[in-house]
Structure formats: structure tokens, C-alpha cells
Chain A
Amino acid sequence: EAGVVQSPRYKIIEKKQPVAFWCNPISGHNTLYWYRQNLGQGPELLIRYENEEAVDDSQLPKDRFSAERLKGVDSTLKIQPAELGDSAVYLCASSHLDRGPTGELFFGEGSRLTVL
């Protein structure tokens, strides 16, 4: 079974430029999460989807961040415009509410963003 796939793995941009990250969850997983991880810190939840609906986006900085999960499968996280403080690793995770414990999330390898 393929794991959670994220791309790109690394991205370097200048401030004020846009950037997008893509995530393909494990097949059949209806819940998808985007996390941000700053250096030396644990991951922080940005947004959670159940199927195509964003059910928790309270921590997403909506002035510059947006996300979508069309058709309830893969998802895109966008930042426009990027700021220096957005440098971090962006992690995608998925889980299936009806299979296994609700705390068992499967994470991708992450997308490391560097804003210059």
C-alpha cells in the first residue's frame, strides 16, 4: 500500500512569491490534515478535511494561506504571498475514521519551504 505522497520535497522562493504544495493521501482515507513544523518544534495543525469539507481551519492564516481538497482525494495548500516566517516543513497526513484508532495518522515526508 502506497503511503502519503507529498510534493515538492524542497522549495526555495523569494518573499512575496506564491508557492503550492500537493498531497495525495492513502487510498480510501477520508480525513486529511495539513500541519506546519517550525525548526525544533512539533508539528502544528493548520487544517483538517473530512472528505472534501474543511471541518477545522481555525489555525490556518487565512489572509495568505488557502487549501482545497477537490473530490475528497488529493489536496493543495497554497501560500500567497510568502513571508520569511513561512519557512518551515509542511506535512500532510491522512487517516480513516472507520478503520483503526482515530489517533493513528499516516504522515508524508513533508515539503520543506525556504523563503529568502
Chain B
Amino acid sequence: DAKTTQPPSMDCAEGRAANLPCNHSTISGNEYVYWYRQIHSQGPQYIIHGLKNNETNEMASLIITEDRKSSTLILPHATLRDTAVYYCIVKGGGADGLTFGKGTHLIIQP
């Protein structure tokens, strides 16, 4: 699976949009981009995934660049409960598990 690069930490004001970047320049054509988050003392939680097109669900939006070398997770109206570590993971097909990096620690400021 391709490697990802994320900033170690970010701050965002409550009520504003949180934009979390991820670089995955070595991604291959059949690999998906997945985002998970981990709130303190809990297990990771799936947020969203995409292949080529932008995706949106009730939690977030995922913007993937046309060359697929980077992506941005957008939390449109951040709340204090969105404070967590966010992991960007690139993964191909198959059930061979996820490879986590260190992620981005997002802190939502009141």
C-alpha cells in the first residue's frame, strides 16, 4: 500500500470548516483513500473513502485531486467532539487490513 504524509497537528475554531490534507504521491490506480479518526480512549472510526471522485457523507467530504496524489478531508462545521487523531490511509482491494501512520491530531478550539 502507498505511503501517506499528514501534518502532525492542526487547530480549527469551533463552527468553522476543518480541512485536513494528506499526500499520497505513490498511490496506484486501484488503491482507495480511506479516512479514519480516533477519539481519545476509543478505537478508530471509519469516516469516508474514495477512489477518484469527490465523496460526501453525513460526517465529512473527501476531495481527491485529479492526479490522485493528494486529498483533503473536510469537516464542514467542526465541533468540540471532532477533536481527534485523523488517519489518512491508502489501500488496495482485498481484506489485508489497514496500515496506519501517526495521523493528524486535530484540536477544535472553542
Contact = CB atoms under 8 A, between A and B. Distances in A.
A binds B: yes
A104 B42 CA distance: 17
Contacts of A44: 100
Contacts, number: 61
A31 B96 CA distance: 10
B29 interface: no
B44 interface: yes
B42 to A, nearest CB: 6
**Interface residues of chain B: helix, strand, loop or mixed (majority):** loop
B100 A109 contact: no
B110 interface: no
Contacts of B89: 103
Contacts of B100: 42-44
A56 B103 CA distance: 24
B101 A42 contact: yes
A48 B32 CA distance: 20
B95 A48 contact: yes
Interface in B23-42: 32, 34, 41-42
A103 B43 contact: no
B99 A109 contact: no
Interface residues of A, number: 26
Contacts of B32: 101, 103
A109 B96 contact: no
Among B45, B49, B97, B101, max chain A CB count under 10 A is at B97
A33 to B, nearest CB: 6
Interface string A62-101: 0000000000000000000000000000010101010001
A95 B10 CA distance: 30
A65 B6 CA distance: 32
A95 B67 CA distance: 30
A97 to B, nearest CB: 5
A105 B102 contact: no
Given A42-B103, A43-B44, A107-B44, 15 more contacts: A31-B95, A33-B97, A41-B102, A42-B85, A43-B98, A48-B96, A91-B44, A93-B44, A101-B34, A104-B46, A104-B49, A105-B46, A107-B43, A110-B42, A110-B43
